[in-house]
Amino acid sequence: MWMDWNDPDELRRLRDLLAEDPAGQVTVEGSRGPVTDSVEMLVGRLGMPDVGGSYFTFSNENNDLIWGFLAECHRRGWIYKGHDTMPWCARCGTGLSQMELNEGYQDREDPGLTVKFPLLDRTGESLLVWTTTPWTLTSNVAAAVGEKLTYVRVRQGDETYWLGKGTLKQALAGPFEVLEERSGRELVGWRYAGPFDDLPAVRAAFETGTRDEPNRPYEHRVVPW
């Protein structure tokens, strides 16, 4: 369950204890037995498995419960369209987040990560996927390609990769041989093995399928972008 002990009275108790003394010790009944910690730390752990929940973002149960909660709020008339004030950037034409206001802007370099995804139906071949957010790889469900872009199959040593033609010089170091070119449209639908498919949580989530096809296990695929 998303929150096994989702008891409003318990949540109100934690709220009051947090106001009285954030460092005070408190015990709640978790999914694996009693859990004791400071009020502040325990509130920060709400939704974690040991206190009876999960924020596993592509869990159908989590998403259905969240949408169900919003639907109930709408049914009770608690959701409405209104106005609010917010910091605004006239140059960019967009709102500013609290982090932007507190930390400001600065030029910096962030590392990019290139990951190999073995293709399931093309023995010995892999996708090379580039990301600047490697912490999202545990939740990877698809690899996006530009339908009108050109992708190449290259051999480098004992490895064979598929990657964007325009990224060859940045993605590969050392000699390589271009074997084939295809449009991104031709890659759509290819199946591949994800980087963390052996994790129990990932296996369990994929085995449940999707909302549209609940009886068909989910598979990593190349999708158009």
Which stretches of the chain drop beneath a pLDDT of 70? 1-7, 52-61, 210-211
Predicted pLDDT at 53: 64
Predicted pLDDT at 3: 46
List the chain domain ranges: 8-55, 113-224
Span 21-53, pLDDT tens digits: 989 999 988 777 888 999 988 888 877 777 766
Predicted pLDDT at 1: 36
Look up tokens 């950037």; give the residue. Answer: 89
Q: What whole-number distance in Å separates Cα of residue 141 and Cα of residue 218?
A: 9
Predicted pLDDT at 2: 39
Predicted pLDDT at 182: 97
Predicted structure pTM score: 0.58
Span 193-223, pLDDT tens digits: 998 888 887 888 788 776 677 777 888 999 9
Residue environment code for 23-56, b if the CB has 16+ CB neighbours within 10 A, otherwise e: eeebebebbeeebebbbbebbebbeeeebbbbeb
Predicted pLDDT at 111: 79
Quote the CATH superfamily of domain 113-224: Valyl/Leucyl/Isoleucyl-tRNA synthetase, editing domain (3.90.740.10)
Tokens (6 digits) for 45 = 């752990």
Predicted pLDDT at 51: 76
Predicted pLDDT at 75: 94
